[in-house]
Protein backbone atom coordinates (compact mmCIF):
# COMPACT_ATOMS: atom_id res chain seq x y z
CA UNK A 1 0.00 0.00 0.00
CA UNK A 2 1.44 3.36 -1.00
CA UNK A 3 2.06 6.06 1.63
CA UNK A 4 -0.75 8.52 2.22
CA UNK A 5 1.13 11.44 0.76
CA UNK A 6 -1.75 13.87 1.24
CA UNK A 7 -1.75 13.32 5.01
CA UNK A 8 1.86 14.12 5.78
CA UNK A 9 2.56 17.38 4.04
CA UNK A 10 5.07 19.12 6.32
CA UNK A 11 3.13 22.39 6.27
CA UNK A 12 -0.07 20.65 7.32
CA UNK A 13 1.68 18.57 9.96
CA UNK A 14 3.94 21.10 11.63
CA UNK A 15 2.99 24.66 10.68
CA UNK A 16 -0.78 24.43 10.94
CA UNK A 17 -2.91 23.77 14.00
CA UNK A 18 -2.66 19.98 14.16
CA UNK A 19 -4.11 17.79 16.88
CA UNK A 20 -2.02 14.95 18.24
CA UNK A 21 -4.82 12.67 17.12
CA UNK A 22 -3.86 13.43 13.52
CA UNK A 23 -0.25 12.41 13.88
CA UNK A 24 -0.93 9.18 15.74
CA UNK A 25 -3.14 8.03 12.87
CA UNK A 26 -0.19 7.98 10.45
CA UNK A 27 1.34 4.64 9.43
CA UNK A 28 4.93 3.46 9.15
CA UNK A 29 4.88 4.19 5.42
CA UNK A 30 3.63 7.72 6.09
CA UNK A 31 6.43 8.48 8.51
CA UNK A 32 8.91 6.90 6.13
CA UNK A 33 7.79 9.32 3.43
CA UNK A 34 7.82 12.26 5.82
CA UNK A 35 11.38 11.47 6.89
CA UNK A 36 12.44 10.89 3.30
CA UNK A 37 11.08 14.29 2.27
CA UNK A 38 13.34 15.90 4.85
CA UNK A 39 16.45 14.36 3.30
CA UNK A 40 18.46 16.76 1.15
CA UNK A 41 18.52 14.28 -1.71
CA UNK A 42 14.74 13.76 -1.85
CA UNK A 43 14.12 15.92 -4.93
CA UNK A 44 16.65 13.83 -6.86
CA UNK A 45 14.89 10.53 -6.20
CA UNK A 46 12.75 9.31 -9.13
CA UNK A 47 9.18 9.52 -7.87
CA UNK A 48 8.25 6.12 -9.31
CA UNK A 49 10.66 4.30 -6.96
CA UNK A 50 9.90 6.15 -3.71
CA UNK A 51 7.30 3.63 -2.54
CA UNK A 52 9.67 0.72 -3.25
CA UNK A 53 12.49 2.43 -1.36
CA UNK A 54 10.33 2.93 1.73
CA UNK A 55 8.91 -0.60 1.55
CA UNK A 56 12.37 -2.17 1.21
CA UNK A 57 13.73 -0.07 4.06
CA UNK A 58 10.95 -1.13 6.42
CA UNK A 59 11.46 -4.78 5.51
CA UNK A 60 15.16 -4.58 6.41
CA UNK A 61 14.21 -3.38 9.89
CA UNK A 62 11.55 -6.07 10.25
CA UNK A 63 13.82 -8.91 9.13
CA UNK A 64 16.63 -7.76 11.41
CA UNK A 65 14.25 -7.70 14.39
CA UNK A 66 12.96 -11.20 13.59
CA UNK A 67 16.52 -12.51 13.39
CA UNK A 68 17.39 -11.22 16.85
CA UNK A 69 14.06 -12.22 18.39
CA UNK A 70 14.90 -15.80 17.44
CA UNK A 71 18.20 -15.62 19.31
CA UNK A 72 17.91 -13.05 22.10
CA UNK A 73 15.57 -11.40 24.55
CA UNK A 74 13.32 -8.63 23.15
CA UNK A 75 14.43 -6.49 26.10
CA UNK A 76 16.71 -3.85 24.49
CA UNK A 77 18.91 -3.53 27.58
CA UNK A 78 19.53 -7.28 27.65
CA UNK A 79 20.14 -7.30 23.90
CA UNK A 80 22.64 -4.46 24.26
CA UNK A 81 24.42 -6.41 26.99
CA UNK A 82 24.53 -9.52 24.79
CA UNK A 83 26.07 -7.44 22.00
CA UNK A 84 28.58 -5.82 24.38
CA UNK A 85 27.09 -2.36 23.97
CA UNK A 86 27.38 -0.05 26.96
CA UNK A 87 24.37 2.15 27.82
CA UNK A 88 25.01 5.55 29.40
CA UNK A 89 22.57 8.24 30.52
CA UNK A 90 23.43 11.90 30.07
CA UNK A 91 21.52 13.87 32.71
CA UNK A 92 23.09 17.27 32.03
CA UNK A 93 23.23 17.97 28.29
CA UNK A 94 20.09 18.79 26.31
CA UNK A 95 21.94 17.95 23.09
CA UNK A 96 19.64 20.00 20.88
CA UNK A 97 19.88 20.94 17.22
CA UNK A 98 17.82 24.11 17.01
CA UNK A 99 14.47 23.39 18.69
CA UNK A 100 14.79 19.62 18.28
CA UNK A 101 16.09 17.31 20.95
CA UNK A 102 18.29 14.36 20.15
CA UNK A 103 16.98 11.58 22.34
CA UNK A 104 19.87 9.18 21.92
CA UNK A 105 22.98 8.44 19.92
CA UNK A 106 25.28 5.55 19.10
CA UNK A 107 29.06 5.74 19.28
CA UNK A 108 31.02 2.90 17.76
CA UNK A 109 34.31 3.07 19.64
CA UNK A 110 33.75 1.58 22.11
CA UNK A 111 30.16 0.54 21.29
CA UNK A 112 28.05 2.87 23.42
CA UNK A 113 24.46 4.09 23.46
CA UNK A 114 23.85 7.46 25.10
CA UNK A 115 20.36 8.30 26.33
CA UNK A 116 19.66 12.01 26.86
CA UNK A 117 17.53 12.15 29.98
CA UNK A 118 16.17 15.71 29.58
CA UNK A 119 14.78 14.96 26.14
CA UNK A 120 13.35 11.67 27.36
CA UNK A 121 11.68 13.36 30.33
CA UNK A 122 10.08 16.01 28.13
CA UNK A 123 8.73 13.32 25.86
CA UNK A 124 7.25 11.46 28.84
CA UNK A 125 5.62 14.69 30.03
CA UNK A 126 4.00 15.30 26.64
CA UNK A 127 2.67 11.75 26.50
CA UNK A 128 1.12 12.15 29.97
CA UNK A 129 -0.14 15.71 29.37
CA UNK A 130 -2.11 14.75 26.28
CA UNK A 131 -3.14 11.30 27.52
CA UNK A 132 -1.36 9.69 24.57
CA UNK A 133 -0.54 6.59 26.57
CA UNK A 134 -4.06 5.36 25.84
CA UNK A 135 -2.89 4.90 22.26
CA UNK A 136 0.85 4.39 22.64
CA UNK A 137 0.65 2.05 25.66
CA UNK A 138 4.22 3.00 26.55
CA UNK A 139 5.06 4.40 29.98
CA UNK A 140 8.74 4.92 29.26
CA UNK A 141 10.01 5.50 25.70
CA UNK A 142 13.64 4.86 26.69
CA UNK A 143 13.70 1.19 25.51
CA UNK A 144 12.48 2.33 22.09
CA UNK A 145 15.49 4.58 21.64
CA UNK A 146 17.87 1.94 22.97
CA UNK A 147 16.50 -0.45 20.34
CA UNK A 148 16.82 2.26 17.70
CA UNK A 149 20.51 2.74 18.52
CA UNK A 150 21.12 -1.01 18.65
CA UNK A 151 20.18 -1.10 14.99
CA UNK A 152 22.83 1.52 14.23
CA UNK A 153 25.30 -0.78 15.99
CA UNK A 154 24.17 -3.61 13.72
CA UNK A 155 24.76 -1.38 10.71
CA UNK A 156 28.27 -0.74 11.97
CA UNK A 157 29.11 -4.36 12.75
CA UNK A 158 26.91 -6.68 10.66
CA UNK A 159 24.44 -5.23 8.17
CA UNK A 160 26.21 -2.25 6.66
CA UNK A 161 24.88 1.28 6.26
CA UNK A 162 21.27 1.09 5.06
CA UNK A 163 21.64 4.66 3.84
CA UNK A 164 23.91 3.33 1.10
CA UNK A 165 21.59 0.58 -0.17
CA UNK A 166 20.03 2.87 -2.76
CA UNK A 167 22.26 5.10 -4.86
CA UNK A 168 20.72 8.16 -6.50
CA UNK A 169 22.34 9.77 -9.53
CA UNK A 170 23.28 13.39 -8.91
CA UNK A 171 24.84 14.12 -12.28
CA UNK A 172 26.84 12.50 -15.05
CA UNK A 173 29.44 13.80 -17.51
CA UNK A 174 30.35 11.33 -20.21
CA UNK A 175 31.41 8.10 -18.48
CA UNK A 176 31.65 9.84 -15.10
CA UNK A 177 28.60 9.33 -12.87
CA UNK A 178 28.15 10.85 -9.42
CA UNK A 179 25.76 9.08 -7.03
CA UNK A 180 24.83 9.53 -3.39
CA UNK A 181 23.14 7.32 -0.82
CA UNK A 182 20.03 8.34 1.13
CA UNK A 183 21.21 8.85 4.69
CA UNK A 184 17.76 9.08 6.29
CA UNK A 185 16.98 5.46 5.34
CA UNK A 186 19.20 4.40 8.21
CA UNK A 187 16.90 6.11 10.73
CA UNK A 188 13.72 4.91 9.03
CA UNK A 189 14.98 1.34 9.33
CA UNK A 190 16.14 1.79 12.93
CA UNK A 191 12.70 2.98 14.03
CA UNK A 192 11.01 0.03 12.33
CA UNK A 193 13.51 -2.37 13.90
CA UNK A 194 12.55 -0.94 17.30
CA UNK A 195 8.85 -1.33 16.52
CA UNK A 196 9.17 -4.98 15.58
CA UNK A 197 11.60 -5.86 18.37
CA UNK A 198 9.29 -4.40 21.02
CA UNK A 199 6.02 -5.39 19.29
CA UNK A 200 4.80 -1.80 19.37
CA UNK A 201 1.37 -0.97 18.00
CA UNK A 202 2.40 2.46 16.68
CA UNK A 203 5.20 3.82 14.49
CA UNK A 204 7.94 4.96 16.91
CA UNK A 205 9.08 7.49 14.31
CA UNK A 206 6.22 9.69 15.52
CA UNK A 207 7.90 10.31 18.90
CA UNK A 208 10.24 13.17 17.84
CA UNK A 209 7.31 14.96 16.20
CA UNK A 210 5.44 15.07 19.51
CA UNK A 211 8.06 17.39 20.95
CA UNK A 212 8.22 19.41 17.74
CA UNK A 213 4.47 20.05 17.78
CA UNK A 214 4.44 20.81 21.51
CA UNK A 215 7.29 23.30 21.27
CA UNK A 216 5.65 25.15 18.43
CA UNK A 217 2.54 25.53 20.56
CA UNK A 218 0.25 24.03 17.95
CA UNK A 219 -1.82 21.90 20.28
- pLDDT grade for 26, boundaries at 50, 70 and 90: confident
- pLDDT grade for 44, boundaries at 50, 70 and 90: very high
Task: Name the pTM for this structure.
Answer: 0.87
Stretch 100-127: mean pLDDT, rounded? 91
Stretch 119-140: mean pLDDT, rounded? 88
- pLDDT grade for 100, boundaries at 50, 70 and 90: low
Q: Does residue 167 have a pLDDT over 90?
A: yes
Does the N-terminal peptide bond of residue 110 adopt cis geometry, omega within 30 degrees of 0? yes
- How high is the pLDDT of residue 57? 97
Q: Does residue 3 have a pLDDT over 80?
A: no
- pLDDT grade for 98, boundaries at 50, 70 and 90: low
- How high is the pLDDT of residue 99? 59
- pLDDT grade for 111, boundaries at 50, 70 and 90: very high
Cβ 174 vs Cβ 26: under 8 Å: no
- How high is the pLDDT of residue 19? 53
Q: Does residue 188 have a pLDDT over 70?
A: yes
- pLDDT grade for 97, boundaries at 50, 70 and 90: low
Q: Does residue 101 have a pLDDT over 80?
A: no
Q: Does residue 11 have a pLDDT over 70?
A: no
Give the chain's mean pLDDT: 86
- pLDDT grade for 4, boundaries at 50, 70 and 90: very low
- How high is the pLDDT of residue 156? 96
- pLDDT grade for 189, boundaries at 50, 70 and 90: very high
Amino acid sequence: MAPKDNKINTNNLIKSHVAYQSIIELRDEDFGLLQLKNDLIYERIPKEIIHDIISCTLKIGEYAAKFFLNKYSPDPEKLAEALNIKILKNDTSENKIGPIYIFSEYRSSPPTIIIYSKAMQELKSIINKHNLNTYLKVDDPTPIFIAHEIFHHLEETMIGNVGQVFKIKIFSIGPFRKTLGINVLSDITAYHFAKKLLNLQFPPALLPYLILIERQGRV
